[in-house]
Amino acid sequence: MKITFPAMRGRIGKRDYYAAMIKLNLIPKIFSFHEWEELPPEQRAQRVLQRARIPEITQYILDNEDGYLFSSLTASFGGEPSFKPSTESNEMGLLELPLESQFVINDGQHRMAAIIEAMKQNPTLGSETISVVFFPFEDLDRMQQMFSDLNRTVKVTSKSLNILYDHRDLLAQIVLEAAEKVPVFRNMVDKDRVSLPLRSPKLFTLSAIYDATLQLVGEVTHENQYDEKAKITLDYWETVGANIPQWKQVLEGYLRPSELRAEYVNSHAVVLWGLGAMGKILLQEYPTEWTSRLQDLSKIDWRRINKEWDGVCMQGTEIVNRRQSKYNTAVFLKNKMGLKKEEPDLPDPIMILDPDNPGDLTHTKIFEGWLGDDDIRNWNNLVYAVHKYALKYYGSFEALKKETHSNIFKGSKTEEGYREYPDIGISIQGEDSNDSWEKALYLARKIKISRIEVIFEWRNKKGAIHPGQKGRLSWRPNN
């Protein structure tokens, strides 16, 4: 008995492969899940299935049945293939495989699992098709290499780019319209990045305007809300732009965007968020007078050196784009605009420490941090994150082991204080907070990661040098 697929035959990397179209209802019959977690990492051909990801992908299918989209699955098959070319082309025909062939997914196991779950809720999806790229099975080393090659250059797209390309998000469409129609936004919005390079000719990022507009008008869940919220968005940001002198100076060519960002706070994401949140309250309290009240924006001292910003959206000389900073900036602007008086919930003083000589970090607990685009939750998470980036940078475990100062082991190891990280296929020996920072900073510098920053607190324990106080460690490549 044979399994037969209409397919195209191709060649890549000196290997034959076949591209076939398969109905979704055949997927659970052909492919099966391998319980990779039962094997040590070095014996796996694929990462362990992360079941927590499946409901989100399943819901995406069910919510967008008229327009969901997936890239091809990639699979290896066992058994001898037989390809019968058509009369029209030697590269198109029928692929025949033995019925007992074993199929292993090299790329797409979470998509496959979500498709199966979605069909349980909507069986009519079974008649639709997905493309599958088949490679003949060679051995475990080849399977592992395929997984590595397929995932090596995968990079999550930026939030700005997601907004730009998401045509289902009605708020995104409003923000894109504002980016073209509001004079100060036109040609001044970076629609790709989430942070602007030092010498960027742009003034704002699309993601920052989106987040600020979300605070202003909220989500746009129905098309009948579109026109009203689009008008509010356009009118509000145009009026704001007309009343912030530095924005007008950029618009008129008297001030470069890079100069504005370097000397003022009012183009940074945290302040845009505050303007959006303040605007929502302003429109509620003064529905017919809000435009004239926005004239008070011109009276605000937006310079970074204005001490009023310290502890609101700045720490020392740096802009801080944290949740608390956004809230405090909104409260600050509400008070400046004469809205209902609020007291900002100012954070406790934070000690700014030298990243190369931070002092004793014993008995500290991270409560906020970042490494590149990753959020950091604790010291172990920091060590894991920097090794994840470094493994991609160096390309192999062996190269990483030569560079890192941490004790790492390829595969699974849980004794002697090692902690396994299956998604990157290595185990890292646990470090105390002092070693974690030192070794993470060393690697971050070596691979020139965009930033490493942690905000932490010394616990009220014997041996903590600053019990109850907060500290901040930060490094960027231009430091």
Burial of 111: CB neighbours in 10 Å, binned 0-12, 13-18, 19+:
buried
Query: Which segment of 163-167, 303-307, 361-365, 412-416 scores lowest on mean pLDDT?
Result: 163-167
Give the pLDDT confidence of 147-174 residue by residue, as tens digits.
777 766 666 667 787 888 778 889 999 9
* Residues 111 and 228 occupy one common structural domain: no
Q: How many domains, the chain? A: 3
346 in a domain, yes or no? no
| Residue at 5: amino acid letter | F
**pLDDT per residue as tens digits for the range 266-288:** 999 999 999 999 999 999 999 99
Non-local (6+) Cβ contacts of 223 within 8 A are 170
The verdict on 308 and 366 lying in the same domain is no
> Beta strand pairing status for 189-190 and 204-205?
parallel
Q: Is residue 342 part of a domain?
A: no
pLDDT value of residue 346: 47
Question: Could you tell me if 143 and 225 lie in one domain?
Answer: no
Tens of pLDDT, residue by residue over 8-63, are 999 998 888 999 998 999 888 888 766 665 656 656 666 667 777 788 888 888 87
Same domain as 167, residue 303: yes
The verdict on 226 and 319 lying in the same domain is yes
Residue 430 lies in a domain: yes
Structural domain including 43 reads: 2-152
Cβ 320 vs Cβ 314: under 8 Å: yes
222 occurs within a structural domain: yes
pLDDT digits 0-9 by tens, 415-441: 888 888 888 889 999 889 999 999 999
- Evaluate if residue 304 carries a pLDDT over 50: yes
> Residue 404 domain-assigned?
yes
* Whether 246 and 361 share a structural domain: no
> 147 vs 265, which has greater pLDDT?
265
Asked if residue 345 belongs to a domain, the reply is no
Average pLDDT over all residues of the chain = 87
* Phi–psi pair at 107, nearest 5 degrees: -150, 125
Using DSSP's 3-state secondary structure scheme, residue 414 falls into: coil
Instruction: Answer with the one of 306, 336, 366 that is the final residue of a domain.
Output: 336
**Residue 16's beta-bridge partner residues?**
11
Residue 295 lies in a domain: yes
* Nearest-angstrom CA–CA distance, 190 and 268: 13
Q: Say if residue 307's pLDDT is above 50.
A: yes
Residues 174 and 302 reside in one and the same domain: yes
358 and 434 share one domain: yes
If asked whether residues 214 and 262 sit together in one domain, one would say: yes
Residue 282 maps to a domain: yes
Q: What is the mean pLDDT of residues 254-266?
A: 94
Of 103 and 154, the structure prediction assigns the larger pLDDT to 103
pTM: 0.59
Point out the domain boundary residue: 105, 120, 152.
152
Do 329 and 388 share a domain, yes or no? no
Task: Please tell me whether residue 376 adopts helix, strand or coil conformation.
Answer: coil
Tens-place pLDDT, residues 54-82: 888 888 888 788 888 888 999 888 888 88
Say whether both 266 and 288 belong to one domain: yes
The pLDDT value given to residue 184: 94
Based on the fold, state whether residues 303 and 391 are members of the same structural domain.
Answer: no
pLDDT at 240: 96
